[in-house]
Structure 1
Amino acid sequence: MKNTSQMHELSQRLVVLFTTEKKIISNRKHFPSSILLPLLILATHYLIIPSNSEKCHPDDKKVLLQIKIQLGNPTNLSSWDPTTDCNRTWYGVGCDTDTQTYRVNYLSLDFVNLPQPVPIPPSITDLHFLTFLFIYRTPNLVGPIPTSISKLTKLLYLTISNTSVNGNIPNTLSQIKTLLTIDFTNNKLTGPLPDTLSSLPNFGGISFDGNQLTGPIPESYGSFSNSFTVLSLSRNQLSGKIPASLAKLNLTYVNLSQNMLEGDGSVFFGSKKQTTEIVLAKNLFAFDIGKVELANDLKQLDLKRNKIYGTLPEGLSELKFLHYFNVSYNNLCGQIPQGTNLRRFDEYCYAHNKCLCGSPLPACKT
C-alpha cells in the first residue's frame, strides 16, 4: 500500500473512518477518539515505508488468498492478485518491513461488497503476526466472532464494526495479552459482557455500542489497569446495578446511555479524574448529584431521563470547557447554578424535574 494511488486511497479511507464514525447509527455523536487515534497512527505508518523494500511472506499470501475465497471473491478485493506483491498493491494489506520479516501485520476489510452473507473468514486467525485487524461497514458479514481469534497473539487493535456479526463476545479475547482496544460497535452481538477483559495488562478501552448485549456490567471491570480510559456500552439492553468497583477507574470517556442500568452513577465522577465526557442518559440511575465532585476538564455531561435527585452542584458554573449539558427528566430540585458558561444551555436542558428553579427556568419561590 505504498504507491501514490494507494497512499491516496488509504488517506481517503482514514478520512471516511474518522468523519463518519461520529455520525453512525442512532445518533452516535461522540465516538471515543482515544480508541481511534492509535489506529490512525498505525495506519499512517503504512504510507511512509519505502516501496523498494516491499515484499510479502509467501505463507501469509496463501492465507490472504484463502480469505478472499472464503469471502466469496468480492470485487473490492480484485487487487488481491496472486501474481503481485500483496504488500505493495493489495487493498487493505500491510506487511512488517521494519524487521524485514514481511509478515502481514495489517488487515483492513472496510466497505467490502460481499456477494452473499458469509461468516468471518476462519483463515484470518492464521495471520499470526497481525497487530491491526479492522473490519468495517460490511453488512453481509454474519455469524459469531470465532473463539479461535485468540490465536492472534500479537494483536493490538481489533475493530469489527457495522456488520451483521452476532452471538456472544468470546471470552477468549482475554488470551490476547497484547490487546489495547476493542471496537465492536453496531453489530448484532448478544449475551453478557465478557468478564475476563480486565486481565489484559495494557488495555485502553472498549466500545460495544449499538448491539443487543444483556445482563449487568461485571464487577471485574473495576479492576482494569490504569491505562483503561474508555468505557462505551451505549444502546444495548444492559441491566442491573452499577458496580461500586467502577469508582476506581479514571476514565476520560464513559457512555452507558440507552440501557436499563440502575444504582449509583456517581462512581464516574471525581475532581481528581481526567474525565471529559460522561453520558448516562436514558437509564434508571438514582443518586444525589449534589454530592458529586466534578472533573475540571469535563466537556459533556448528559444525565437526562434517569431518577437522579438532589441539587445541582455549584461547581458546574466553574467548568470552563463544558459544551453539552442535559439533566432533564430527573428528580432534581433547587436553584440552578448561575455562571457565564451555563448561559448557553436553554430550559430544555433542565426541563421536567421535580422542583428546579432559576434561569432559564422560572425564578425560585422565596
Structure 2
Amino acid sequence: MAHNSLYGVVDERIVNLTNLIILDLNSNQPSGNIPSNTGTPSSLKFMILHTNNLAGSLPQYLLNCTNLIELNLRFNNFEGVISMFNFSKFVHLSKIDLQRNYFTCIFPVSLYSCKSLRAIRLSFNDIEGQIQPEILSLKSLSFLSLGGTRLTNVTGAMKILMRCESFVALFFSYNFLGEEIPADGEMVEFNGFQNLQVLSISQLQFLRSLDPSFNNFSGDIPNQISNLINLERLDLSMNQLSGEIPTSITSLTFLASFNVSHNNLQGLIPKSTQLQGFDISAFEGNPKLCGAPLPMSAPERLVLMKMIRKPKTWRMNIIKFHGFMFLSVLGSFSDSGEFVVL
C-alpha cells in the first residue's frame, strides 16, 4: 500500500491482524499516532511507515514483535525518549531507521544487544552522548548514520569505530561541533577501517590532519574535502582512488603535507603554488598522473621526439607542457610517416 494517497488515522483494528508479516504504508499521508492497543501482530517482520505524518511515541506492544527485521519510521513526527525503549528484545532486527523525527535521548545502548543489526540511522533527532565500546559487539553493522545529532568526543568515537572491520559507511556530519581533533601523537588514524567506503564528518571545521592511508578506499577524491579549510596534512596514499585530483584541493591554503601516492589517479595535477611545491614522492605510483612536479614520462618524451623529426621549416613558439618550457613546432605527419610542416 506504499506510494498511494492514503490519509487519515491508522485504524486501531490493524493490531488484530495477528498473522501480518509486512506493514508497509510508506510515502502516504496518514496522520496521528500508531494504534496503542494491547493487541499486536506478533508475526510482524517489517514495519515500514516512513515519509508520512505519523506522530506520538513508540507503542510498548511493539516489544512483542520479536521477529521484527526492519523498523523504518524516518521522516515522520514521532517523539519520546527512545532510550527507555528496550530494543534488546529484537534479536532479529537488521535495520532501524528513525531519521528526522523528534526523538530525544542519550544514544540508546539497548541497540547494542541487537546482534543482527546491519544498519542504524538515527540522524537528525535530539540525541546526545558518546559512542560506546559496546558497539563493537555488532559484528554485522556496516552502516551507521548519526548526523545532525549532538554527539561529543570525536576522538573517542574514531578510536572505537576504526576497530569495526565491517563498516562500509559512516555519517557524522553536523556533530562534534567546536571540537578539535588532537594533532601529532594523539591524532586519530584510520588504518582500522578496512572496508570503509564513505566517511562523512564534514562539519569538523577545525580538522588539521586527515590520514586515511593504507586502506582500500576506491572512487574519486571527493570535492567536499576542500571544506576542511584548516587542513594542514592530507595523506590519501596506498589506496585505490581513481579519477583526477579535484582542483578544489588548491583552495586548502594551509596544506603543508600532501600525499596521494600509489593510487590509480590520472590526468593533470592541478596547478597551485602548494601542489607543485610538494616532492615527487607525493604523487608517484599513479602511472596515468602527469604534470609538475612529476617529470615528463617516456610516452610524452616519445611524442616530443616525433614532433621534431626531419622538419623542413620551423615555426617556433615557446610553450609550456606539463610544467616544462620548450620549443613547439607546428606540423603534422604524412601517410608515409614523415613530418610535414604546416
Regarding TM over 0.5, the answer is yes
After TM superposition, give the deviation of residue 296 of structure 1 in Å. Answer: 3.1
For residues 207 and 122 of structure 1, the distance between their equivalents in structure 2, rounded to whole angstroms, comes to 25
For residues 275 and 291 of structure 1, the distance between their equivalents in structure 2, rounded to whole angstroms, comes to 11
For residues 43 and 270 of structure 2, the distance between their equivalents in structure 1, rounded to whole angstroms, comes to 49
Q: Would the alpha carbon gap of residues 194 and 83 (structure 1) be closer, same or farther in structure 2, given more than 3 Å must change?
A: closer
Asked if the contact 2:242–2:263 (Cα under 8 Å) also holds between the matched residues in 1, the reply is no
For residues 326 and 144 of structure 1, the distance between their equivalents in structure 2, rounded to whole angstroms, comes to 49
Runs of 4+ in 1 over 6 A off after TM superposition: 298-306, 314-317, 325-328, 339-343
Deviations 1:334-356 (Å, cap 9, x if unpaired)? Answer: 3698x99999xxxxxxxxxxxxx
For residues 75 and 135 of structure 2, the distance between their equivalents in structure 1, rounded to whole angstroms, comes to 25
Asked if the contact 1:255–1:280 (Cα under 8 Å) also holds between the matched residues in 2, the reply is no
| 1:215 alignment partner AA | N
**Paired residue total:** 259
For residues 121 and 68 of structure 2, the distance between their equivalents in structure 1, rounded to whole angstroms, comes to 16
Deviations 1:80-105 (Å, cap 9, x if unpaired)? Answer: 54666763895449xxxxxxx98211
Question: Does residue 274 in structure 1 map to residue 217 in structure 2?
Answer: yes
For residues 89 and 118 of structure 1, the distance between their equivalents in structure 2, rounded to whole angstroms, comes to 21
- What TM-score do you get using the length of structure 1 for normalisation? 0.56
For residues 327 and 173 of structure 1, the distance between their equivalents in structure 2, rounded to whole angstroms, comes to 49
Matches within 5 A, 1:346-361: none
Q: SS where residue 218 of structure 2 aligns?
A: coil
For residues 257 and 82 of structure 1, the distance between their equivalents in structure 2, rounded to whole angstroms, comes to 43
For residues 238 and 57 of structure 2, the distance between their equivalents in structure 1, rounded to whole angstroms, comes to 47
Q: Would the alpha carbon gap of residues 290 and 216 (structure 1) be closer, same or farther in structure 2, given more than 3 Å must change?
A: closer
Q: 1:256 aligns to what?
A: 201
For residues 132 and 78 of structure 2, the distance between their equivalents in structure 1, rounded to whole angstroms, comes to 25
Q: SS where residue 162 of structure 1 aligns?
A: coil
Matches within 5 A, 1:114-133: 114=54, 118-133=56-71
Deviations 1:282-321 (Å, cap 9, x if unpaired)? Answer: 457645336734423479978777954335647788248x
Q: SS where residue 129 of structure 1 aligns?
A: coil
In structure 1, list runs of 5 or more residues that go unmatched: 1-5, 14-73, 94-100, 344-362
Q: SS where residue 189 of structure 1 aligns?
A: strand
| 2:111 alignment partner AA | L
After TM superposition, give the deviation of residue 156 of structure 1 in Å. Answer: 0.7
Equivalent residue in structure 1 for 2:233, among 263, 266, 288: 288
| 1:269 alignment partner AA | S
Q: Would the alpha carbon gap of residues 174 and 261 (structure 1) be closer, same or farther in structure 2, given more than 3 Å must change?
A: farther
Q: SS where residue 116 of structure 2 aligns?
A: coil
For residues 62 and 289 of structure 2, the distance between their equivalents in structure 1, rounded to whole angstroms, comes to 50
Deviations 1:50-76 (Å, cap 9, x if unpaired)? Answer: xxxxxxxxxxxxxxxxxxxxxxxx935
Q: Would the alpha carbon gap of residues 265 and 306 (structure 1) be closer, same or farther in structure 2, given more than 3 Å must change?
A: farther
Q: 1:318 aligns to what?
A: 265
Asked if the contact 1:258–1:281 (Cα under 8 Å) also holds between the matched residues in 2, the reply is no
Asked if the contact 1:140–1:163 (Cα under 8 Å) also holds between the matched residues in 2, the reply is yes
Q: 2:168 aligns to what?
A: 229
Asked if the contact 2:19–2:43 (Cα under 8 Å) also holds between the matched residues in 1, the reply is no
Deviations 1:107-156 (Å, cap 9, x if unpaired)? Answer: 11213423xx6333333233111111111111343433435112211111
Deviations 1:186-235 (Å, cap 9, x if unpaired)? Answer: 2222222333212212221211112222222422212113x221111111
Q: Would the alpha carbon gap of residues 290 and 111 (structure 1) be closer, same or farther in structure 2, given more than 3 Å must change?
A: closer
Matches within 5 A, 1:32-51: none
For residues 220 and 289 of structure 1, the distance between their equivalents in structure 2, rounded to whole angstroms, comes to 22
Equivalent residue in structure 1 for 2:113, among 160, 167, 175: 175
| 1:222 alignment partner AA | M
Question: Does residue 106 in structure 1 map to residue 39 in structure 2?
Answer: no
The RMSD of aligned alpha carbons is 4.4
Q: Would the alpha carbon gap of residues 185 and 286 (structure 1) be closer, same or farther in structure 2, given more than 3 Å must change?
A: same
In structure 2, list runs of 5 or more residues that go unmatched: 27-40, 292-322, 325-342
For residues 342 and 152 of structure 1, the distance between their equivalents in structure 2, rounded to whole angstroms, comes to 54
After TM superposition, give the deviation of residue 179 of structure 1 in Å. Answer: 0.9
For residues 262 and 138 of structure 1, the distance between their equivalents in structure 2, rounded to whole angstroms, comes to 34
Between Structure 1 and Structure 2, the one with more helix by share is 1
